Amino acid sequence: MSMFKINTHGRLHEWIADAKGYFIDEGLHYELTQHALLSKDTQSVGVAAAKQAANTVPENLNGAFQTFEKGRDASISCACHWTVNMAASADHGKLWGEAYSVTPCGIFVPAESSIRTPEDLADVDVHVGYQSGSHYKTIQSLEPFLPTNKIRLKFGGSPADRVDQLLNGLAPAATVFGMQYYMMEQLGFRKILDNSFMIAALVPAAVDLEDVRKYYRALRRAQSDIDVMHQAYLHFYANELPERHLKLVDIRRFGPGERIVFEPYNREIYEKTRDWVEERHIFSDDKKGSGQFEDAVISLA
């Protein structure tokens, strides 16, 4: 029996399914590890950047897509659906088409900032992750308010990096999601615009698809637990936040975070997403892959 390797994803579901024996109930032979970008031991680029002047925060072009290019040591990996869509098309795995999730996300600014509306973000650096959910969604959310040439993105690194940049006055604005969203909200940062976005999963070629279905059946039970009373499980966020951030907040005040939706990621979603990405020239031609739904998605159809 092969080992099903599960990375945590900064959400509650995997921790609940592990603690309550849901994976075992499904007969899944698994191991649970923390994703490197979310590990409490990870040293943030933002910590080093905090010692520099604001205009010297380096561009960090290592994002979600790049981690798929390098390969993740996991039987299933989650990232924003734009990146998973493109990674699956480029043959880095298959997009799991039987479920997706949605995470709370927003553009935040310091409480003392003069920025009050999306229009005030014209020509202002919004710190995001490169070819990650915050990258695509910030463009998508600002387009109704600003012309393209007025939308400015700064690739500030991981969500933890961007929190550090906000806390240290190195980012005039930043997009953060999930537990970092709740952190900024609790610390009094002002949300300028909702950036909630869709997350998808990538499955490597050698993984048994029945194991993936066992995994999701366990997560479905965890989602039900969260829906009934998420407060009972908020302590699991302590496993995910870096110590320097955990000590600043009361995780008992956090919300439920990401919600898994057990509906298909269908052809229409796939093709509409690809068209949007290609129209904005976010990927070079050699990174786009075939673009064919049949080649990229594990579908219920």
The rounded distance, in Å, linking the Cα atoms of 285 and 144 is 27
10 Å CB burial of residue 51 (0-12, 13-18, 19+) is: exposed
In this structure, the number of other CB atoms found within 10 A of the CB of residue 255 comes to 13
In this structure, the number of other CB atoms found within 10 A of the CB of residue 32 comes to 15
Mean pLDDT value across the chain: 92
Q: What is the pLDDT of residue 40?
A: 44
All structural domains of the chain, each given as residue ranges with its CATH number in brackets, are: 4-298 (3.40.190.10)
Q: What is the pLDDT of residue 301?
A: 58
The rounded distance, in Å, linking the Cα atoms of 32 and 41 is 16
Residue 220 — φ and ψ, nearest 5°?
Answer: -65, -40
Mean pLDDT value of segment 202-223: 97
Q: What is the pLDDT of residue 289?
A: 85
Helix axes 178-186, 159-167, angle to 10 degrees: 10
Q: What is the pLDDT of residue 250?
A: 98
Q: Are 298 and 84 in contact (CB under 8 A)?
A: no
pLDDT bracket for residue 47 (50, 70, 90): very low
Residue 79 — φ and ψ, nearest 5°?
Answer: -160, 175
Q: What is the pLDDT of residue 56?
A: 75
Q: Determine which of 8-22, 23-37, 60-74, 164-178 has the lowest per-residue pLDDT on average.
A: 23-37
Mean pLDDT value of segment 237-252: 97
